[in-house]
A and B are shown apart, each in its own frame.
Chain A
Amino acid sequence: MTVLNWPLAIVWVSVAILAFFVFRREGRPGLKAAGQNALGIGKTLMIRLPLALLAASFLVQIVPVETMSKLIGPQSGFGGIVLASLLGGILPGGPMTSFPIAIVFQQSGAGLPQMVALICGWSIFAMHRILSWEAPIMGWRFVALRLATSVTLPVLAAYAAAAIVAIFDA
């Protein structure tokens, strides 16, 4: 399958290194607390994750993702980049649901800069996250300030990505 093994090796090595530092500072109780923390989040994901993957898998069948992918193809230029940023912003939920949908966009012909704009749009504008976390905790004025500073970022990132590709292809 598409699983790359070196990132997996890197993460597990980092787990070992971090565990070593925690052990040196706090001994066994520190490791136990860290494990319990991980297990706590893992438990909430245990139900949510399979459901989210299942929902995304069904949604991909229903939503005309392939038609939308054509609108954000490699030839779609600035308009496609802006559209992709907006699409990213309305992708539902966390990475559990958004990334499986993003794969379909990627595989059905979205352009690379447009995909970068999509992922950045999702990271920056995520509606779901603003409504359930940012606004309640930080207030709407803060949300407004952050959106004002970030509104052009996905487009900048898309052009930077296009430039990177151009440099490496040359």
Chain B
Amino acid sequence: MKLATTDIVFATLAAVSGTICYVRFGGPTVIDSVESAAILLVEILPQLAAGLLIGGLVTRLVSREKVAAWLGSGSGIKGLLLATLAGTLTPGGPFTSFPMVYALWVAGADAGALIAFISAWSLLGFNRLIVWEIPLLGAHFTLIRYVACLPLPILAGYLARGLVRWPVFRIADPDAVAPAPETTR
């Protein structure tokens, strides 16, 4: 099995923090920590498995091209709403969403739609909600947090459409930026 850089970072982080923990608080604290991490893992697994399967299934149902066609630059509030919805439904981590945002950009989505998409994906994403936030922080908190954040992606999209008129924030054509990295993984 291949070890990615991220795995090494996490392994090092665990080793270093574990050592500090042992030196400062002794063995029992280390054992307690390992135990609570293991319990958390077992609690998360059924949700995580479902989240991964949803991600895999959705990629079969929605093509990138189709999403891009709906988010043209003259799309108005409809485009922002659609971008928000698409971002909310986009599963997976940044390794699936950012290549998708880049594809939308190349296909002609404007800054407002792109920012609404990213904000919705990060604030309202169902996947993260189901896999992490509800199990870990509780349904009550999650509900309040979610409702409070509902209008934010649209707001950010509108602000972006306004700000982009200033030269400082005028984003270049996608071609002027380095090409998107490989999306395998």
Check B144–A51 contact: CB distance below 8 A: no
How many B residues are at the interface, by size bracket?
35 or more
Flag whether B77 is at the interface (Cβ < 8 A): no
Q: Taking CB as reference atom, which chain A residue is nearest B30?
A: A58
Give the size of the chain A interface in residues (CB under 8 angstroms).
91
The residue from B37, B101, B130 contacting A50, defined by CB atoms under 8 A apart: B37
- CB neighbours (8 Å) of A59 from chain B are 13, 17
Complex Cα gap A6–B142 (Å): 14
Assembly CA distance A53 to B1 (angstroms): 20
Contact B160 A145 (CB under 8 A): yes
Complex-state Cα separation, A150 to B58, whole angstroms: 28
Which of B14, B24, B114, B168: most chain A CB closer than 10 A?
B14
| Shortest Cβ distance from A6 into B: residue | B139
In the bound complex, CA of A133 to CA of B164 (Å): 22
- The reply to whether B53 and A62 contact each other, CB–CB distance below 8 Å, is no
Task: Report whether A57 and B36 are in contact in the complex, using a CB–CB cutoff of 8 Å.
Answer: yes
B160 contacts A55, CB within 8 Å? no
Contact across chains for B98 and A138 when beta carbons are under 8 A apart: yes
Measured in the bound complex, the distance between the Cα atoms of B155 and A129 in whole Å is 22
Q: Is the CB of A34 within 8 A of B59?
A: yes
Verify if B72 is at the interface (C-beta below 8 Å from A).
no
A136, B181: Cβ atoms under 8 Å? yes
Q: CB < 8 Å: which of B3, B20, B37, B168 contacts A62?
A: B20
Q: Can you list the 7 inter-chain pairs with the closest CB atoms, starting with the nearest?
A: A58-B17, A37-B56, A38-B56, A160-B148, A34-B56, A18-B57, A51-B10
Q: Which residues of B approach A to under 8 Å, CB–CB?
A: 1, 3-4, 6-7, 10-11, 13-14, 17-18, 20-21, 24-25, 29-30, 33-34, 36-37, 39-41, 43-44, 46-61, 92-95, 98-99, 101-102, 105, 111, 114-115, 118-119, 122-123, 128, 130-139, 141, 144-145, 147-149, 152, 155-157, 159-160, 163-164, 168-172, 176-178, 180-181, 185
* Extra 20 A-B pairs, beta carbons < 8 Å, given A39-B52, A62-B17, A142-B171: A2-B43, A4-B139, A18-B61, A19-B53, A38-B53, A51-B10, A54-B34, A56-B37, A95-B132, A102-B136, A103-B136, A123-B123, A138-B101, A138-B105, A139-B172, A146-B119, A149-B115, A149-B156, A164-B147, A165-B144
